[in-house]
């Protein structure tokens, strides 16, 4: 195969963005067409990724760009997440009067940056992908310009993200200075575990990446940005960038610096423990569902990092399974949230769920299944996600990490159960509208069924993920 054939997905999506932008400028009232064309573009990109031969590892551009099982799987997840969000968000955008051509184009630009990040085998390529993703996310966060909270969210994310990008770039320059290369494969051949300059470089890059996935103590932007952004954008923030960031974590730690595991492992364990505990405790006092899911996602990323801290193929596979199931759970949660609408107003506090089961029994049941899964109650998908993480951690005799994970699961179960109590046992309120878009209904149904029936075929996902070997 020609080298360019392997990067057809990235080339296609780049050309699609340019075409859609030109179409939006020259054709008036083209929001609808561009919205659906963006979804078609994502699906075609997905097909192009699947068509790449599996099981082979190909490096392009002097080894700076890599195509393998890990990149293909994570790209498919990114594409599916992006397409689902575009399908779910149309009605919300129309009601909020922000149904503009820029929204799907920004989503596509962000996804292009993520695809580059996922395949990066070089610090510079990774940084280019990261900035391409971040630039689109800044605008998306403040997309609802008429709302003060949305503008605040965009500004907050921009300032703090710029700071983290600076730290990350400084880390890249340190690693380049002490190893003589930015390529992951070359760095892995020159690494000396006693090199303190490299250790500092790793720390700076991990700080920058931790910000992107909102791991404690670099989480301070997440609750405000999640609350202030339009709900579909919050869903995008909570799902898709985390896939790309987790892939970069895997590539960065497991390819060039696996011999320096003694240096980076304590950092990852600290990030994991802090995120799990803080995410569980801070969510208890929240009244807004979007802020609650922000703290919840901090906790969940802690579990994914616990799998990474192990330093084995089994550990990183458990993290990939975790993030895959987490995406499905989040899509289900936000589908429920987008259905809480009355007279073209969306509701997003826990109080608004009061007595939901009396008027909307099916929606309440779906909400119940999603929340139980997020809490990790067997036999739902969320339980298996945590089970794989704990299994990989215990196999490496990291008992303290497993105990902290179990305790934070118990604490987190409290606030999920509190929401269920409000839905089923509090006095009922007025009925919400039932004229939801078909895509929203499909998204809720599919995510609920996947969560509910995962235990019948748990090995299917494991089979796919087991082909991913980085070490």
φ, ψ of residue 51 in degrees (nearest 5)? -70, -20
Exposed, middle or buried: residue 219 (CB in 10 Å: 0-12, 13-18, 19+)? Answer: buried
Residue 451 lies in a domain: yes
Which 8-state DSSP code applies to residue 341? Answer: E
Q: State which residues form the domain around 372.
A: 257-471
Instruction: Report the half-sphere exposure of 157 (CA within 13 A, side-chain side).
Output: 31
Residue 370 lies in a domain: yes
> Taking residues 65-83, what's their average pLDDT?
90
> Taking residues 259-287, what's their average pLDDT?
89
Q: Is the pLDDT of residue 198 over 90?
A: no
Amino acid 322: pLDDT: 92
Which 8-state DSSP code applies to residue 464? Answer: H
Range name among 104-118, 258-272, 423-437 with the lowest pLDDT average: 423-437
Q: Cα–Cα distances in Å, from 400 out to 144, 210, 269?
A: 44, 22, 10
Look at the chain and report how many structural domains it folds into: 1
DSSP H helical segments within 213-256, as ranges?
222-228, 231-254
C-alpha dihedral (285, 289, 290, 292), degrees to nearest 10: 30
Residue 17 lies in a domain: no
Amino acid 6: pLDDT: 82
Q: Is the pLDDT of residue 112 over 90?
A: yes
Distance CA 210, CA 232 (A): 23
pLDDT band, very low/low/confident/very high, at 204 (cuts 50, 70, 90):
very high
List of residues 6+ apart from 189 with CB closer than 8 A: none
List of residues 6+ apart from 304 with CB closer than 8 A: 242, 246, 319, 322, 323, 326, 389
Residue 344 lies in a domain: yes
Q: Is the pLDDT of residue 218 over 90?
A: no
Amino acid 156: pLDDT: 87
pLDDT band, very low/low/confident/very high, at 55 (cuts 50, 70, 90):
low
Residue 242 lies in a domain: no
DSSP H helical segments within 309-437, as ranges?
313-338, 356-359, 361-375, 381-395, 399-425
Amino acid 77: pLDDT: 92
Q: Encode pLDDT of 360-389 as tens digits.
A: 888 889 989 999 999 888 888 889 999 999
224 token code pair: 């405000």
> Taking residues 317-343, what's their average pLDDT?
89
pLDDT band, very low/low/confident/very high, at 193 (cuts 50, 70, 90):
low
Q: Is the pLDDT of residue 267 over 80?
A: yes
Amino acid 464: pLDDT: 82
The percentage of the chain sitting over the pLDDT mark of 70, rounded to a whole number, equals 98
Q: Is the pLDDT of residue 53 over 80?
A: no
Amino acid 325: pLDDT: 92
Q: Encode pLDDT of 7-35 as tens digits.
A: 888 999 999 999 999 998 888 888 889 98
Residue 67 lies in a domain: no
Find where tokens 């901090």 sit.
Answer: 298
User: 149: closest CA among 137, 141, 161, 160?
Assistant: 141
C-alpha dihedral (345, 350, 355, 356), degrees to nearest 10: 50
Exposed, middle or buried: residue 420 (CB in 10 Å: 0-12, 13-18, 19+)? Answer: middle
Distance CA 169, CA 161 (A): 12
Instruction: Report the half-sphere exposure of 313 (CA within 13 A, side-chain side).
Output: 9
Adjacent-strand bridge partners of 346: 341
Range name among 270-279, 298-307, 417-426 with the lowest pLDDT average: 417-426
Distance CA 167, CA 4 (A): 33
Q: Cα–Cα distances in Å, from 359 out to 167, 355, 356, 434, 448?
A: 51, 8, 6, 11, 19
Mean pLDDT of the chain: 87
User: 218: closest CA among 175, 173, 169, 279?
Assistant: 279
The percentage of the chain sitting over the pLDDT mark of 90, rounded to a whole number, equals 27
Distance CA 83, CA 38 (A): 8
Distance CA 416, CA 418 (A): 5
Distance CA 305, CA 321 (A): 12
Find where tokens 């906790």 sit.
Answer: 299
φ, ψ of residue 52 in degrees (nearest 5)? -60, 135
Q: Cα–Cα distances in Å, from 309 out to 51, 68, 238, 314, 387?
A: 32, 22, 22, 11, 16
Residue 142 lies in a domain: no
pLDDT band, very low/low/confident/very high, at 75 (cuts 50, 70, 90):
very high
231 token code pair: 């709900």
- Give the N- to C-terminal CA distance of the chain in Å, as an integer: 26
Q: Is the peptide bond before 163 cis (omega within 30 degrees of 0)?
A: no
pLDDT band, very low/low/confident/very high, at 83 (cuts 50, 70, 90):
very high
pLDDT band, very low/low/confident/very high, at 348 (cuts 50, 70, 90):
confident
Residue 114 lies in a domain: no
Amino acid 2: pLDDT: 61
Q: Encode pLDDT of 430-444 as tens digits.
A: 788 777 888 888 888
pLDDT band, very low/low/confident/very high, at 54 (cuts 50, 70, 90):
low
Adjacent-strand bridge partners of 183: 122
Amino acid 118: pLDDT: 92
Q: Encode pLDDT of 118-151 as tens digits.
A: 999 899 998 999 999 989 998 888 888 778 888 8
């Amino acid at each position: 195969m020609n080298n360019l054939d392997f990067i057809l997905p990235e080339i296609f999506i780049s050309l699609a963005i340019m075409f859609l932008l030109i179409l939006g400028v020259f054709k008036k009232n083209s929001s609808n067409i561009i919205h659906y064309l963006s979804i078609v573009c994502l699906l075609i990109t997905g097909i192009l990724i699947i068509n790449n031969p599996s099981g082979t590892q190909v490096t392009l551009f002097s080894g700076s760009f890599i195509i393998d099982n890990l990149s293909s799987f994570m790209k498919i997840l990114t594409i599916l997440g992006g397409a689902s969000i575009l399908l779910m968000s149309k009605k919300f955008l129309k009601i909020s009067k922000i149904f503009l051509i820029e929204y799907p184009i920004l989503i596509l630009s962000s996804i292009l940056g993520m695809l580059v990040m996922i395949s990066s085998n070089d610090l510079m390529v990774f940084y280019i992908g990261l900035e391409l993703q971040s630039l689109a996310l800044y605008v998306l966060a403040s997309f609802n310009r008429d709302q003060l909270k949305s503008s605040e969210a965009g500004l907050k994310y921009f300032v703090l993200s710029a700071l983290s990008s600076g730290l990350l770039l400084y880390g890249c320059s340190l690693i380049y200075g002490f190893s003589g290369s930015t390529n992951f494969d070359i760095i892995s051949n020159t690494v000396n575990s006693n090199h303190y300059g490299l250790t500092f470089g790793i720390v700076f890059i991990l700080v920058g990446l931790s910000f992107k996935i909102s791991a404690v103590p670099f989480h301070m932007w997440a609750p405000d940005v999640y609350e202030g952004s339009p709900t579909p954008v919050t869903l995008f923030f909570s799902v898709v960038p985390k896939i790309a960031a987790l892939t970069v974590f895997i590539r960065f730690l497991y390819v060039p610096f696996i011999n320096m595991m003694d240096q980076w492992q304590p950092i990852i364990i600290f990030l994991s423990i802090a995120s799990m505990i803080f995410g569980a405790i801070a969510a208890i006092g929240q009244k807004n569902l979007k802020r609650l899911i922000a703290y919840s996602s901090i906790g969940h990323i802690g579990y994914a990092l616990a799998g990474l801290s192990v330093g084995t193929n089994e550990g990183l596979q458990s993290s990939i399974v975790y993030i895959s199931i987490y995406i499905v759970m989040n899509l289900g949660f936000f589908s429920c949230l987008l259905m809480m609408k009355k007279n073209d107003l969306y509701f997003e506090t826990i109080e608004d769920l009061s007595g939901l089961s009396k008027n909307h029994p099916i929606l309440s049941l779906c909400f119940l299944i999603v929340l139980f899964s997020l809490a990790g109650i067997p036999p739902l998908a969320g339980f298996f996600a945590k089970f794989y993480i704990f299994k990989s951690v215990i196999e490496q005799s990291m008992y303290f990490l497993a105990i902290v994970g179990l305790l934070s699961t118990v604490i987190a179960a409290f606030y999920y159960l509190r929401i269920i109590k409000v839905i089923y046992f509090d006095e009922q309120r007025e009925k919400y509208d039932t004229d939801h878009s078909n895509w929203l209904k499909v998204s809720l149904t599919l995510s609920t069924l996947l969560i509910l029936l995962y235990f019948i075929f748990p090995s299917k996902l494991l089979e796919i993920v087991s082909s991913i070997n980085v070490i």
